[in-house]
């Protein structure tokens, strides 16, 4: 039996792609953490084991990282890890009423299921089976995600295997990717805790949300890709954590993780652990419906997670910049600021968002640095008013490629109009100065009333002026669109034609746009792969035509 299990394990790790390179120190730290979390021997006083609170939620990320890097560990470490990574053996199993799941558990001893002490061991196991069926019914039958693939007899038959074990408070549960089925997809099985004693959510409710959470991980690695866990783990956890809320709305274990986001919304989006961003998916669901989240998973095998989010929003007729700033507004109206019937349904139970600075209003410029894809809150106060500015950096390209970068901004809140400022009220005027205006958005809230929201920042133009961004446009370096800022003249459609310098037509289309935003967005440029050179564009708005030039580099 040991030889058979080792063969299965070898097949998995030999086909699982390698993640980023790890130093020996990083590998040793990863090894010590995983062994400490997954073994009964918790007295490891000879080693310093640093455990992040997010590690205790779900073991899916760390077990995937271990398997990605398995052959980089020493032979001695590999031997220990191989034993830990074998499937657990249980003395009893039952099939769920749907016939899709097999629940494995011990009928006696300290690892026997004990979610409700008033129920027998067998009755507790049945509750897990019912929770698994409920998760399947919602995520597969209702949301129409494909079910996880068969494991080809591992665990005794072709049913999906869920093992009940004693985690001792170290994980709620984990999905373990197992055998490759090609194209970055894997079979898997689930393990969950046997009682959730001492957890934030205890007993049967702990089991319910864990099964809902882990079941979506099985869908992720079985049908989309398990090969991006190490580079975009937060995205896997955002979906699985939000799935807890979607399947079991009354449990709310995700409340326990929100504070780390609300205390630091200025962190780059992809540097969150994902558990603390379930409300991002709740926001997307409320704005667009559930399908936008599934669309992101369909896109993930071809691109990074943040690009999948951006693309799904573009396909829905929106932009990441506008929705990210609006998300900032939603996160402001929580706790005692909650407005019944608006924003998050459960906002009253959320923490308050933290401002990076609280300033006595004096009309002086505020200079700051923002991380890519971050929301930065600045509070201004005087004797009568409190104004909160939400400054959003929405540079999703840097949010992938330069995630630790800093982007300078200058925000000016003035009591009177200044050159280039926007009037918020009779008493307040605002201006944001940035180097790359296309990837910033701003909103202001005065005394808990929105005075501006979702405003992408561009230069203030005089009538008949024109602004093109980015110009020059670099394929693979710039963004996948060009914005042409122009006086809309009250029109909502424009005819756009693009020519080479020899006046050969290379693009022609009618583009719809919001005249209040005052820009035409040419989204198709990245699909054309135009040659390097100078191009001439002509925009017809009503009876008037405006011409301009743009430079493209394709190297």
Q: Each residue of 394-407: pLDDT tens digit?
A: 999 999 999 999 99
Buried b (16+ CB within 10 A) or exposed e, 209-241: bbbbbbbbbbbbbbbbbbbbbbebbbbbbbbbb
- Position 515 confidence tier, pLDDT thresholds 50, 70, 90: low
- Position 360 confidence tier, pLDDT thresholds 50, 70, 90: very high
Q: Which carries the bigger pLDDT value, residue 263 or residue 553?
A: 263
Burial zone of 250 (CB within 10 Å; 0-12 exposed, 13-18 middle, 19+ buried)? exposed
Domain membership of residue 289 (yes or no) is: yes
What's the pLDDT tens digit per position in 311-354?
A: 999 898 888 988 999 999 999 999 999 999 999 999 999 999 99
Query: Minimal CA–CA distance to 23: which of 87, 84, 78, 72?
Result: 72
Q: Which carries the bigger pLDDT value, residue 546 or residue 157?
A: 157
> Within this chain, do residues 287 and 417 fall inside the same structural domain, yes or no?
yes
Domain membership of residue 21 (yes or no) is: yes
> Within this chain, do residues 404 and 388 fall inside the same structural domain, yes or no?
yes
pTM for this entry: 0.79
> Within this chain, do residues 15 and 127 fall inside the same structural domain, yes or no?
no
Structural domain containing residue 173: 92-254+294-299
What phi, psi does 282 have (nearest 5°)?
Answer: -65, -40
Burial zone of 360 (CB within 10 Å; 0-12 exposed, 13-18 middle, 19+ buried)? exposed
> Mean pLDDT of all residues in the chain?
87
- Answer yes or no: is pLDDT of 12 > 50: no
Domain membership of residue 507 (yes or no) is: yes
Q: How much is the pLDDT for 11?
A: 44
CA distances from 434 to 320, 408, 439, 441, 521 (A): 18, 7, 9, 11, 20
- Position 5 confidence tier, pLDDT thresholds 50, 70, 90: very low
Domain membership of residue 41 (yes or no) is: yes
> Within this chain, do residues 277 and 204 fall inside the same structural domain, yes or no?
no
What's the pLDDT tens digit per position in 491-503?
A: 778 888 898 888 8
CA distances from 167 to 30, 236, 245 (A): 18, 22, 23
- From 84, 107, 123, the end of a domain falls on 84
Cβ count within 10 A of residue 156: 11
> Within this chain, do residues 160 and 72 fall inside the same structural domain, yes or no?
no
Q: How much is the pLDDT for 480?
A: 63
> Within this chain, do residues 128 and 179 fall inside the same structural domain, yes or no?
yes
Q: How much is the pLDDT for 256?
A: 94
- From 299, 334, 360, the end of a domain falls on 299
Q: How much is the pLDDT for 190?
A: 97
Q: Report the CATH number that the domain containing residue 243 is assigned in CATH.
A: 3.40.30
> Within this chain, do residues 142 and 239 fall inside the same structural domain, yes or no?
yes
Q: How much is the pLDDT for 368?
A: 95
> Within this chain, do residues 260 and 250 fall inside the same structural domain, yes or no?
no
Distance CA 29, CA 37 (A): 12
Q: What is the number of helices (H) and of strands (E) in the chain?
A: 14, 22
Q: How much is the pLDDT for 525?
A: 63
The dihedral through the CA atoms of 393, 550, 478, 525 has a sign that is positive
- Answer yes or no: is pLDDT of 10 > 50: no
Q: DSSP 3-state assignment of 93?
A: strand
Q: How much is the pLDDT for 420?
A: 85
> Within this chain, do residues 244 and 105 fall inside the same structural domain, yes or no?
yes
- From 435, 456, 477, the end of a domain falls on 456
Q: Which carries the bigger pLDDT value, residue 46 or residue 142?
A: 142
Mean pLDDT for the stretch of residues 210-233 = 96
Domain membership of residue 461 (yes or no) is: no
Q: How much is the pLDDT for 540?
A: 87
Q: How much is the pLDDT for 18?
A: 42
Q: How much is the pLDDT for 19?
A: 43
Domain membership of residue 9 (yes or no) is: yes
Q: How much is the pLDDT for 509?
A: 85
What phi, psi does 524 have (nearest 5°)?
Answer: -90, 0
Q: How much is the pLDDT for 385?
A: 94
Domain membership of residue 313 (yes or no) is: yes
CA distances from 44 to 37, 66, 130, 172 (A): 11, 20, 38, 22
- Answer yes or no: is pLDDT of 178 > 90: yes
Give the E-state strand segments of 371-472 in sequence order.
374-381, 386-393, 407-414, 422-423, 429-434, 440-446, 449-456, 466-469
The CA-CA-CA angle for residues 530, 507, 493, to 5°, reads 135
What's the pLDDT tens digit per position in 85-103?
A: 999 999 999 999 999 999 9
> Within this chain, do residues 411 and 504 fall inside the same structural domain, yes or no?
no
Contact 532, 452 (CB under 8 A): no
> Within this chain, do residues 223 and 181 fall inside the same structural domain, yes or no?
yes
Domain membership of residue 495 (yes or no) is: yes
Mean pLDDT for the stretch of residues 71-91 = 94
- Position 453 confidence tier, pLDDT thresholds 50, 70, 90: confident
Q: What share of the chain is helix, strand, coil (3-state, %, to 5)?
A: 35, 25, 40
Residues of the chain with pLDDT > 70, as a percent, come to: 87
Cβ count within 10 A of residue 76: 9
Burial zone of 305 (CB within 10 Å; 0-12 exposed, 13-18 middle, 19+ buried)? buried
> Within this chain, do residues 308 and 407 fall inside the same structural domain, yes or no?
yes
Distance CA 315, CA 327 (A): 18
- Position 508 confidence tier, pLDDT thresholds 50, 70, 90: confident
Total domain count for the chain? 4
Give the range with max mean pLDDT: 173-182, 447-456, 509-518.
173-182
Q: Write out the two tokens for 219.
A: 């869908």
- Answer yes or no: is pLDDT of 133 > 90: yes
What length does the chain have?
555
Q: Report the CATH number that the domain containing residue 475 is assigned in CATH.
A: 2.60.40.1220
- The two beta strands, 185-193 and 160-165, are parallel
């Amino acid at each position: 039996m040991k030889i058979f299990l080792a063969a299965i394990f070898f097949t998995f790790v030999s086909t699982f792609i390698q993640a980023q390179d790890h130093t020996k120190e990083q590998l040793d730290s990863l090894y010590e953490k995983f062994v400490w979390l997954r073994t009964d021997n918790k007295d490891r006083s000879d080693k310093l084991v640093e455990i992040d609170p997010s590690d205790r939620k779900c073991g899916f990320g760390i077990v995937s990282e271990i398997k990605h890097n398995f052959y980089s560990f020493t032979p001695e470490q590999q031997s220990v890890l191989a034993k830990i990574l074998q499937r657990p053996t249980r003395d009893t199993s039952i099939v769920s009423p749907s016939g899709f799941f097999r629940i494995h558990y011990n009928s006696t001893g300290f690892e026997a299921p004990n979610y409700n002490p008033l129920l027998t061991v067998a009755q507790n196991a049945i509750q897990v089976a019912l929770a698994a069926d409920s998760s399947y019914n919602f995520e597969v039958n209702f949301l129409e995600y494909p079910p996880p693939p068969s494991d080809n007899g591992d665990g005794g038959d072709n049913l999906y295997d869920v093992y009940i074990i004693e985690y001792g408070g170290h994980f709620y549960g984990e999905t373990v990717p197992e055998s490759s089925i090609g194209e970055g997809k894997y079979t898997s099985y689930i393990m969950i805790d046997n009682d959730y004693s001492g957890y934030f959510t205890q007993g049967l409710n702990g089991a319910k949300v864990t099964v809902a959470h882990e079941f979506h991980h099985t869908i992720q690695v079985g049908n989309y890709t398990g090969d991006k866990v190490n580079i975009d783990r937060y995205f896997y956890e955002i979906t699985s954590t939000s799935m807890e809320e979607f399947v079991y709305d009354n449990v709310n274990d995700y409340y326990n993780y929100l504070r780390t986001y609300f205390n630091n919304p200025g962190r780059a989006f992809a540097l969150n652990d994902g558990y603390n961003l379930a409300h991002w998916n709740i926001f997307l669901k409320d704005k667009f419906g559930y399908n936008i989240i599934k669309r992101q998973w369909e896109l993930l095998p071809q691109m990074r997670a943040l690009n999948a989010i951006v693309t799904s929003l573009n396909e829905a007729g929106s932009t990441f910049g506008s929705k990210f700033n609006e998300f900032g507004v939603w996160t402001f109206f929580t706790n005692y600021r909650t407005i019944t019937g608006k924003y998050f349904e459960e906002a009253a139970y959320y923490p308050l968002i933290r401002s990076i600075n609280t300033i006595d209003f004096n009309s002086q410029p505020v200079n700051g640095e923002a991380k890519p894809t971050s929301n930065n809150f600045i509070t201004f106060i005087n004797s009568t008013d409190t104004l909160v500015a939400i400054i959003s950096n929405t540079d999703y390209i840097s949010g992938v490629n330069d995630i630790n970068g800093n982007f300078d901004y200058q925000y000016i809140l003035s009591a009177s109009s200044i050159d280039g400022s926007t009037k918020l009220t009779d008493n307040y005027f605002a201006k944001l100065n940035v180097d790359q205006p296309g990837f910033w958005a701003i909103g202001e809230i005065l005394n808990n009333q929105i005075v501006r929201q979702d405003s992408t920042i561009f230069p203030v133009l005089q009538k008949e002026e024109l602004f093109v961004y980015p110009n020059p446009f670099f394929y693979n370096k710039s963004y996948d669109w060009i914005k042409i800022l122009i006086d809309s003249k009250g029109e909502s459609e424009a005819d756009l034609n693009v020519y080479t310098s020899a006046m050969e037509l290379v693009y022609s289309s009618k583009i719809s746009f919001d005249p209040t935003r005052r820009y035409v967005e040419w989204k198709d440029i990245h699909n054309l792969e135009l040659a390097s050179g100078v191009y001439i564009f002509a925009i017809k708005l009503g009876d008037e035509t405006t011409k301009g030039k743009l430079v493209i580099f394709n190297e």
